[in-house]
Homo-oligomer: A and B are copies of this chain.
Amino acid sequence: MAELRFDPINRHTVVIAPERSKRPKDEFREKTAFSKKCPFCPGNEDQTPPENFSNGDNVNNWTIRSFPNKYPAFSQLDENGISGIQDIIVESDKHDINMGDFPLSHLKELFQVYKKRLESIKKNKTIKFILIFKNHGVMAGATLEHTHTQIVGLSFVPRQVEKTMQKLKKHFDEEKQCFYCRLAEQSTVIFENSSFVLISPREARFSYETWIVPKKHQMHYEEITDAQLADLSELISKQINTLNSMLDNPAFNIVLNNGLYNQDNNRFFHWNIQIIPRIYYQAGFELGTGTFINQVEPENAVLELKQNAL
């Protein structure tokens, strides 16, 4: 029952999604390995919609599983002709584990699941845009603490993404080079391996915001190779642990920006991942001006992140 509304004056887009207000909210507790009440914990599989992926061989013998979001902002096909697919990927069978504590092999398997789910969802030819993101901690918007990733597939391209794509195409046409390829080449690197660079853009909106950019020009995440999956796991594990140590286990978002689907050629796009610590709140100034306030100069964030890298 989602309705999409665009404010022609302030140029922001809103999803009116009353259904989402009904979703349960955790009272965040002391750490526990298992929570009886948690719908994402093993044994409580009947509290979620039927799964569309599981790495286990029976219903509760799994370490990663995925299913449709029970409280979607977008329904499958609504009267406004907007269709959406919303999945939850439970990243671990352990209730209280932090992504930084995942064994690398488990993290790699999770990133392989991202690829599988994208390959499955994009078969739906009405889907034009798929966002994979993770909210960790209350300040990052998590309402359930059990570590999980969300996937949203939409039959339309959000306006801000559309504008970004136009800018990237213009850059590609004028400079004869992909914006992200250039960024990967020219930025001060915090960390790199064979497949990726970790950088902090000079226009970072949030303190210690970093971007992971593949060295190879790839439009869609699902082009990722097995070697890249291993390198991505190494890099994300390292960066989450560095942030956990520097900022005392902050809330954070992970946002995977991916190429569009079922659209004309968009070879000018280059998938990337943003890791965004959420250590303060957006306030009246941001609301009144649309301008972010970043309290840490990104050039200094780069230095600090390098010095503190684990």
Contacts and interface: CB of A to CB of B under 8 A. Distances in A.
User: How many copies of the chain does the oligomer comprise?
Assistant: 2
A203 B201 CA distance: 31
A306 interface: no
Given A17-B293, A133-B288, A161-B289, A11 B167 contact: yes
Secondary structure dominating the interface of A:
mixed
Contacts of A131: 284-285, 288-289
A24 interface: no
B9 A171 contact: yes
A253 B292 contact: no
A48 B201 CA distance: 35
Q: Which of A141, A142, A150, A179 has the most CB of B within 10 A?
A: A141
Contacts of A276: 287
Contacts of A14: 203-205, 291-294
Contact of A9 (B135, B168, B280, B296): B168
A281 interface: yes
A80 to B, nearest CB: 13
Contacts of A300: 18
Interface residues of A, number: 73
B158 A290 contact: yes
Interface in A246-262: 253-257
Task: Output the residue of A179, A293, A296 with the most chain B CB within 10 A.
Answer: A293
A13 interface: yes
A290 B133 contact: no
A152 B285 contact: yes
Q: Name the residue among A21, A207, A284, A289 with the largest chain B CB count within 10 angstroms.
A: A284
A217 to B, nearest CB: 16
A7 to B, nearest CB: 4
A298 B16 contact: yes
A12 interface: yes
Interface string A68-92: 0000010000000000000000000
Given A18-B296, A150-B284, A284-B133, A291 B141 contact: no
Interface string A268-286: 0000001010101111111
21 contacts: A5-B203, A9-B164, A9-B167, A10-B203, A12-B291, A12-B292, A14-B292, A15-B293, A18-B295, A18-B296, A73-B293, A134-B284, A135-B283, A141-B280, A141-B286, A150-B285, A152-B285, A159-B290, A253-B283, A257-B288, A276-B287
Given A14-B292, A276-B287, 19 more contacts: A7-B201, A10-B164, A10-B167, A11-B164, A12-B292, A13-B289, A14-B291, A14-B293, A18-B297, A133-B283, A133-B284, A133-B285, A135-B283, A140-B281, A141-B281, A142-B283, A152-B285, A161-B289, A255-B287
